[in-house]
A = this chain, B = another copy of it.
Amino acid sequence: MSKKHKSTIGTYLIKRLEQAGLKHIFGVPGDYVLEFFRYLEESRLKVVCNCNELNAGYAADAYARMNGISAVCVTYGVGGYSLFNAVVGAFAERIPMVVISGAPRVFERSHHHLLHHTTGDINLQYNMYEKITVSSCVLVNPEQAPEQIDKTIAACLKFKRPVYIEIPIDVISMPCPKPGPFSVDTTITSDKACLDEAVSETLALLEQAKRPVALVGVESHRLGIRRQLQELVEHTGYPFASGLLGRTVIPEEHPQFVGVYGGYASWESARKAVQEADIILCLGTIMTDIQIGGSKALLDPGRMIVANSDKVRIKHHIYNHVGLKDFMVSLKSRMKKHKPVKISPSHCAAGMTDGDYRPRPGHKITVKRFYQRMNRFIDQHSLVIGESGDSIFNVATLSLPKGVSCIGQAFYLSIGFATPAALGAALAAPKSRVVAFIGDGAFQMTAQEVSTIIREKLNPIIFLMNNDGYTIERVMVDGAFNDLQGWKYSKLPSVFGGGWGCAVKTEGDLEAALKRAADRPAEFALIEVILDRMDCAEATRMYGAKYKAANISARK
């Protein structure tokens, strides 16, 4: 904070946000929170105002995935409830996000009449957020506020999930002691007896295993223990696959890497390794229906060891109070080192390789050849985003060079996530260039956030995959409800006042657009890729077939 301010609850909170690692804060101003925006504007934090609150939440989600923590600031009621779905998603996908909401003055909380932006129940918003956060507070008492702020932000940093802070307008300016240093113990402590027994049982199972495989997940990234993960995986020598949410937690060039495993969206090599394994050692993988291939698990729990942030499940029993880091370190120290398995390069083949891709200028673009081309276009400076739907399944098939991150809501799957996420990720990783793949239906949900990308002078490339409707739904149940109004998408940059757009239909068009994007590295680009209506990923088709089969049997 600038020194001209005396220390208040508002400046205290901002200082803590800075200390927690924030450089940007997302949000939309509104009357219950304007005073706090005034404080923010005078702070070192850069305020990024979004077109609406849901978009702010998605942007903050992606920012946290790259930066380790994010914050979003909204007004009471209309702001808090509009943001809601983004925070539910962040809770589901374990994203450390600080939600800050303004609120009516303290004395108004016990007042008789109806305040605007409320239903009349002044505790409703807090009560709802309490259920989708790991810590939440309302700062009605200035004496307690510093402690509440510290505790709440510490929980965000430790548990890597959203937290909620509600500040009445009049509390923001109340005096409070200057904040001191902020050190948060983020250690997830283990119970030694639980840890020892879990590791012993794991060792016994692994020693008997003939075809073990490791499946690595996103929690190692969230908890900052990727080094321990890689050391363990190298120590075991096992082949490893990465989960949909855990791309590149160990670089994909690693000699033990067999590909991405994510249910239908798996690489053939990874599918084979995981499904034929007699023991699957899951390290920080969030076991969702999409991850394991549908709601009826394709993977047998009887051959799985699943270590998550604070517990380990072995077959059908659970050890609580076992931290993931402790588990990995202890397992490595007690296990003898194995030689790495030999994986022939041909064994590990991405669903798509660039292979011998050569553009055929007059040919219509297909999904398959488009992503083959992308395998060459994406380089070590890219940051890849896959929108929920067909795009995330296609992105799963890409091989990612070392250092490239990949963002997607692979579990909660909000469509509309990716456009605001491109904004958030670009701000958090200014040295990378965001390359986002977004379906037309998803794009229409949150399209206006392109305007904020342009306003912030950022350079993402959005590939708008226009297959004329909700193709991922067409493969399940089709009807006019899956149709969309056709937009002239490529004109949008000129409406929003920056960057450039074009539509491409042939492989020749695509080459020209890619060249233009490369030639203008600092500019936002919207490249509409015109596809056939039913052209989609193999995983999408399989998902649709399974849905259809389940429904037809239900109708009988």
Contact = CB atoms under 8 A, between A and B. Distances in A.
Interface in A76-133: 77-78, 81-82, 84-85, 88-89, 91-92, 104-105, 108, 111, 113-121, 124, 127-128, 131-132
Contacts of A551: 35, 169, 173
Given A29-B482, A31-B547, A414-B78, A111 B295 contact: yes
A280 interface: no
A479 interface: yes
Interface residues of A, number: 93
Nearest to A288: B114
Contacts of A489: 495
B31 A473 contact: yes
A412 B115 CA distance: 8
Interface stretch (A44-52, A189-197, A213-221): A44-52
A118 B104 contact: no
B487 A88 contact: no
A497 B492 CA distance: 12
A92 B118 contact: yes
A289 B116 contact: yes
A84 B113 CA distance: 23
A170 B551 CA distance: 7
Given A114-B287, A412-B116, A473-B31, A479 B92 contact: no
A455 B480 CA distance: 13
A333 interface: no
A353 interface: no
A38 to B, nearest CB: 5
A71 to B, nearest CB: 14
Contact of A81 (B77, B84, B416, B446): B84
A508 to B, nearest CB: 25
A494 to B, nearest CB: 7
Contact of A451 (B480, B487, B547): B487
A555 to B, nearest CB: 5
A458 to B, nearest CB: 12
A260 B84 CA distance: 35
B289 A114 contact: yes
Contact of A485 (B78, B288, B451, B486): B451
A18 interface: no
A412 B77 contact: yes
A104 B555 CA distance: 15
A113 B287 contact: yes
Given A29-B470, A445-B51, A92 B120 contact: yes
B38 A113 contact: no
B444 A52 contact: yes
A277 interface: no
B485 A494 contact: no
A104 B114 CA distance: 37
Nearest to A172: B554
Given A128-B128, A132-B119, A85 B84 contact: yes
A54 interface: yes
A37 B481 contact: yes
B54 A82 contact: yes
Nearest to A80: B85
A447 interface: yes
A47 B482 CA distance: 11
Contact of A113 (B49, B292, B413): B292
Contacts of A114: 92, 286-289, 411
Contacts of A31: 472-473, 476, 547
Contacts of A292: 113
Contact of A29 (B30, B77, B455, B481): B481
11 contacts: A31-B476, A47-B481, A78-B89, A81-B85, A82-B84, A113-B289, A114-B286, A115-B289, A116-B413, A444-B448, A451-B485
The 5 closest A-B pairs by CB, nearest first: A81-B85, A34-B477, A455-B485, A82-B85, A52-B445
Interface of A: 29-31, 34-35, 37-38, 40-41, 47, 49, 51-52, 54, 77-78, 81-82, 84-85, 88-89, 91-92, 104-105, 108, 111, 113-121, 124, 127-128, 131-132, 169-170, 173, 286-290, 292, 295, 297, 411-416, 444-448, 451-452, 454-455, 470, 472-473, 476-477, 479-483, 485-489, 491-492, 494-497, 547, 551, 554-555
